[in-house]
Amino acid sequence: MTTHNFLPAEYFQHMSQALIQAGVHRPTLIIDKQRLDENLDALLSVIETGFDYRIVAKSLPSVPLLKYIMQRSGSNRLMSFHLPFLHHVVEHIPQADILLGKPMPVAGANEFYHWHQTLKHTTFTPNKQLHWLIDSIDRLRQYQTLAKELNCSLNINLELDVGLHRGGFNANNEKNKTELIQALEILKIDKRLILTGLMGYEAHVSKIPKMIGGPEKAFTCAMQTYRESLQQVINIFGQQFCDSLILNAGGSSTYPLYKKLDEKSAFITELATASALVKPTDFDVSTLEHHKAACFIATPVLKLVDKPEIPMLKNVSKFLHMLGVLPKQACFIYGGNWLASPCFPATSKRSNIFGHSSNQEMYELNDDHTLNVDDYFFLRPSQSEAVFLQFGEIAVYEEGNIIDWWPVFHADDNEKHTAHRKLNSIKENV
């Protein structure tokens, strides 16, 4: 764990007091607003050198949280990865310019347009504000058919494989280069399909070991591949057309590598990131040493146990205690089985006696722990996108107080629309 992520006991004691004062008595997701702001300032120091900023909504799945980041960063650009949440954002943040972060089945895109038609008084305009991500020539042809069926224009961003090898177009070999050119020629001819940009995600870069070149070499290769693909676009559409394209790149673990004055990445127009702003444990990487952990799970201690035993093995347990295999102290918390690691008490760890539990998970404690029943046990999420959604609201912590509660995304509205659509379909077929 980095220095920035080590927090003294006093930090969690102050946060515990804030939770008590707020009347919290259940597992709660907390964002430290001051730390969030400091992380955002670090990000903006890169963005403000000449990049646009696209906020990755899946990593911050809360409308008030997204609106706060949008207001503070001055960006209306979002990236969405899940169709129900796309619906949610369109309804609640209609001013957003949205880029899909992964390719969607064409049936899902079709459903989106039919759903959008049911909205009343919306200002969101898909042909101006929504960009679909396309990763293959086959998917492009599917969307071409959809555009014809709907008699509408679709904004298309092409996904590039810049080294992650998770799909997408690539100009590095003849077969992939040919497919890219074919896709560009379709986009050039079909007036219903509007090429609005490229996206090259390079999450692998920060994880490349030094023995094969390390992050710097991987980043150089990724940018070279991206530029080669962009050159094919320029060859077909011309430089002037390409000057207005979205050239998206970056991620939480890689955005610090981008420099507008560095020829290597100067052509990129926008960076996408969000997890770095709350820094779950998956992002404890060298490129984010200057970022701080800003999200925590706080949950009450339900029980304290002296010399915990393995069920039905009392004598064996005594022997294992003598060997130091079993802990002398342990606690059971309210809930558990989250994608998260304990951070207070600092030396605590999940016990293997009972395994994972979503009801009452057991954690080993040091002999000198100071926990009492009903005190708060703290964990750091390993990621934000899944863990945040397990909590109804996020407690916003600032200067020793819980100052607000921000609800997370819910698919309720979309599910209602879907159910209504299916019901109407049944009625039509009766």
Q: What confidence score (pLDDT) does residue 17 get?
A: 98
Whether the predicted pLDDT of 348 surpasses 50: yes
Tell me which of 203-217, 322-336, 348-362 is least confident: 322-336
Q: Using an 8 Å Cβ cutoff, are 330 and 363 in contact?
A: yes
Residue length of the chain: 430
Question: Which range of residues forms the domain containing residue 154?
Answer: 33-277
pLDDT grade for 217, boundaries at 50, 70 and 90: very high
Q: What is the pTM of this model?
A: 0.91
Six-digit token pair at 35? Answer: 């730390």
Q: What confidence score (pLDDT) does residue 417 get?
A: 46
| Across 355-369, average pLDDT | 90
Q: Domain tally for the chain?
A: 1
Whether the predicted pLDDT of 327 surpasses 70: no
Q: Is residue 388 part of a domain?
A: no
DSSP line for 108-133:
HHHHHHHHHHT-SS----HHHHEEEE
Whether the predicted pLDDT of 311 surpasses 80: no
Q: Is residue 71 part of a domain?
A: yes
Q: Using an 8 Å Cβ cutoff, are 205 and 249 in contact?
A: no
Q: For residues 268 and 200, give the distance between their C-alpha atoms in angstroms, rounded to a whole number.
A: 10
Q: Is residue 384 part of a domain?
A: no
Q: What confidence score (pLDDT) does residue 326 get?
A: 67
> Greatest CA separation found in the chain?
80
Beta bridge partners of 79: 56, 99
Per-state percent for the chain, helix, strand, coil, to nearest 5: 40, 20, 35
Whether the predicted pLDDT of 321 surpasses 80: no
Q: Is residue 379 part of a domain?
A: no
Instruction: Specify the higher pLDDT residue, 30 or 311.
Output: 30
Q: What confidence score (pLDDT) does residue 313 get?
A: 64
Q: What confidence score (pLDDT) does residue 322 get?
A: 60
| Across 153-159, average pLDDT | 98
**pLDDT tens, 66-78?**
999 999 999 999 9
Q: For residues 277 and 75, give the distance between their C-alpha atoms in angstroms, rounded to a whole number.
A: 15
Six-digit token pair at 393? Answer: 């609201």
Q: Is residue 319 part of a domain?
A: no
Q: What confidence score (pLDDT) does residue 330 get?
A: 85
CA angle 229, 234, 240 (to 5 degrees): 140
| Across 416-427, average pLDDT | 44
Q: Using an 8 Å Cβ cutoff, are 304 and 345 in contact?
A: no
The overall average pLDDT reported for the chain is 91
Six-digit token pair at 346? Answer: 């600092």
Q: For residues 38 and 29, give the distance between their C-alpha atoms in angstroms, rounded to a whole number.
A: 19
Q: Is residue 416 part of a domain?
A: no
Q: What confidence score (pLDDT) does residue 226 get?
A: 96
| Across 159-168, average pLDDT | 94
Beta-strand relationship, 97-100 and 130-134: parallel
**pLDDT tens, 2-29?**
445 679 999 999 999 999 999 999 999 9
Q: What is the CATH number of the domain that holds 179?
A: 3.20.20.10
Q: What confidence score (pLDDT) does residue 185 get?
A: 98
| Across 144-165, average pLDDT | 97
Q: Is residue 138 part of a domain?
A: yes
Q: Is residue 6 part of a domain?
A: no
